[in-house]
Amino acid sequence: MDSSLFKKDILTASQFTKKDVERVVAVTRSMRDIVDKDGSTDILKGNIMTALFYEPSSRTFGSFVAAMQRLGGGFIPLQGVVYSSVAKGESLPDTVRTFASFSDCIVLRHPQVGAAVTAADATAKPVINAGDGPGEHPTQALLDFFTIMDHFGSVDGLTITLVGDLLNGRTVHSLITLLSLFSPKAIHLVSPEVLKMTRDHLEGPKKSGIKVIEHEALDDVLGETDVLYATRVQKERFTDLDVYEKVKYSYIITPDIMKKSKKTAILMHPFPRLGEIDGAVDADPRALYLRAQIPNGMYVRMALLALVLKEDISV
Ligand code: NCD
């Protein structure tokens, strides 16, 4: 039953079927129950994950490591590759081949789009893309999707608004693709003109016939939005910092914005936030980033590691 992700790479949200996503959601719920009840399990006893991170990370790195340990497995932490042979100029395929011989899967974060594919080509062991530059972040999209499902029970019929840096923000690239496997009512994309999502990421909704509407003003859509997903303007991707300075505070979610939003709406953000959400909003029960999204990250990564590394996980 679990064979669809067993031994597979997880490189892009576009590789998933609706059934895959539903299975991840179901296993994530079981993982949450296991953690709530027992704290850990030994499903992956004897397995080792390499966490190979060429870019900064707190939540993704920490949640993958915690996930592996709660499943009874071990890990090799390669964060800040300045201390490894990468600093001597070693190629990505050589580093990947080396750690693939020590471990059962590689979780890779890298500044270049397509790096996860390069890594996957270098080894038969599963590679999980934990963010490739401004490309994709499929595991974040799964935890975002899980958070929406867990809150509303379904994505179908919802109006979802993605706001901020839709050009460089990899989480929204993967999320819009996942959402397209289901039937949201509409997806609104709110960004300054220079940070619009590129057309390739709109293939998913186009194929599924989901209405996508682009805006510059957040106020235009607040009244109908069920899921408001804010993102950080990705300073590290700008070649011209003057442009960054002009757009960095284009949208700030304040208590006033929340007042104009639906009572039943939810507010999400992949974090880190750099001023996009006023701290005064944190106490609003609709703000799910701290209370649901971040903890869900660990449960989703437990589910993914189990599905990729074990043929039948019977949970
Ligand atoms: C995101 C990322 O790295 O793409 N962070 C994360 O993994 N939660 C979002 C961001 O850095 O803005």
Q: What is the pLDDT of residues 6-24, one digit of tens each?
A: 999 999 999 999 999 999 9
User: How confident is the model over 276-311, as pLDDT tens digits?
Assistant: 999 999 999 999 999 999 999 999 999 999 999 999
Q: Are residues 151 and 180 in the same domain?
A: yes
Span from the CA of 82 to the centroid of ligand 1 (angstroms): 21
Span from the CA of 79 to the centroid of ligand 1 (angstroms): 15
Q: Give the position, in ligand 1's atom list, of the atom nearest the Cα of 165.
A: 12
User: How confident is the model over 202-214, as pLDDT tens digits?
Assistant: 999 999 999 999 9
Amino acid at 36: D
Domain CATH for 25: 3.40.50.1370
**Helix (H/G/I), strand (E/B), else coil: 68:** helix
- Asked whether residue 197 is assigned to any structural domain, the reply reads yes
Q: Are residues 157 and 210 in the same domain?
A: yes
- Asked whether residue 250 is assigned to any structural domain, the reply reads yes
Q: Are residues 155 and 249 in the same domain?
A: yes
Average pLDDT of the chain to the nearest whole number: 96
CA distance 171 to 134: 9
CA distance 15 to 73: 26
Cβ neighbour number for residue 290 with a 10 Å cutoff: 11
Percent of the chain scored above 70 by pLDDT?
A: 98
CA distance 147 to 268: 9
- Backbone φ and ψ for 136, nearest 5 degrees, come out as -135, 165
| Domain with 162 in it | 139-293
Q: Are residues 131 and 152 in the same domain?
A: no
Q: Are residues 204 and 70 in the same domain?
A: no
User: How confident is the model over 56-86, as pLDDT tens digits?
Assistant: 999 999 999 999 999 999 999 999 776 667 7
Is the pLDDT score of 315 beyond 80? Answer: no
Q: Are residues 121 and 156 in the same domain?
A: no
- Asked whether residue 6 is assigned to any structural domain, the reply reads no
Residue 186: closest CA among 166, 205, 167, 163: 205
Q: Are residues 265 and 162 in the same domain?
A: yes
For residue 92, name the pLDDT band (cuts at 50, 70, 90). very high
- Asked whether residue 273 is assigned to any structural domain, the reply reads yes
Q: Give the position, in ligand 1's atom list, of the atom nearest the Cα of 55.
A: 3
Q: Give the position, in ligand 1's atom list, of the atom nearest the Cα of 109.
A: 3
For residue 191, name the pLDDT band (cuts at 50, 70, 90). very high
User: How confident is the model over 111-124, as pLDDT tens digits?
Assistant: 999 999 999 999 99
Q: How far is CA 237 from CA 38, 119, 169, 198, 251, in A?
A: 42, 22, 9, 15, 18
Question: If you take atom 12 of ligand 1, which residue's CA is the nearest one?
Answer: 232
Bridge partners of 105, per DSSP, are 49
Give me the mean pLDDT over the 211-239 stretch: 97
- Asked whether residue 1 is assigned to any structural domain, the reply reads no
pLDDT at 82: 66
Q: Are residues 84 and 132 in the same domain?
A: yes
Q: Are residues 224 and 234 in the same domain?
A: yes
Q: Are residues 90 and 159 in the same domain?
A: no
Cβ < 6 Å from ligand 1: which residues?
59-60, 131, 137, 140, 170-171, 232, 270-271
CA distance 224 to 222: 6
- Asked whether residue 255 is assigned to any structural domain, the reply reads yes
Sign of CA dihedral 304, 288, 282, 186: positive
Q: Are residues 223 and 103 in the same domain?
A: no
Bridge partners of 5, per DSSP, are none
CA distance 229 to 53: 25
Cα end-to-end distance, the chain, whole Å: 11
- Asked whether residue 261 is assigned to any structural domain, the reply reads yes
Question: If you take atom 7 of ligand 1, which residue's CA is the nearest one?
Answer: 60
Cβ-contact 141, 177 below 8 angstroms: yes
Strands lying side by side in the sheet with 159-163: 211-215, 186-190, 159-163, 227-230, 266-268
Q: Give the position, in ligand 1's atom list, of the atom nearest the Cα of 271.
A: 8
Q: How far is CA 292 from CA 32, 128, 146, in A?
A: 12, 23, 10
The total number of structural domains in the chain stands at: 2
Is the pLDDT score of 233 beyond 60? Answer: yes
For residue 54, name the pLDDT band (cuts at 50, 70, 90). very high
Query: In the structure encoding, which two tokens stand for residue 34, read together?
Result: 């296991």
- Asked whether residue 315 is assigned to any structural domain, the reply reads no
Is the pLDDT score of 178 beyond 90? Answer: yes
DSSP states of 94-156 as a string? HHHHHHHHHSSEEEEEESSTTHHHHHHHH-SS-EEEEEETTS--HHHHHHHHHHHHHHHS--T
Is the pTM of the predicted complex or chain greater than 0.75?
A: yes
Q: Are residues 210 and 86 in the same domain?
A: no
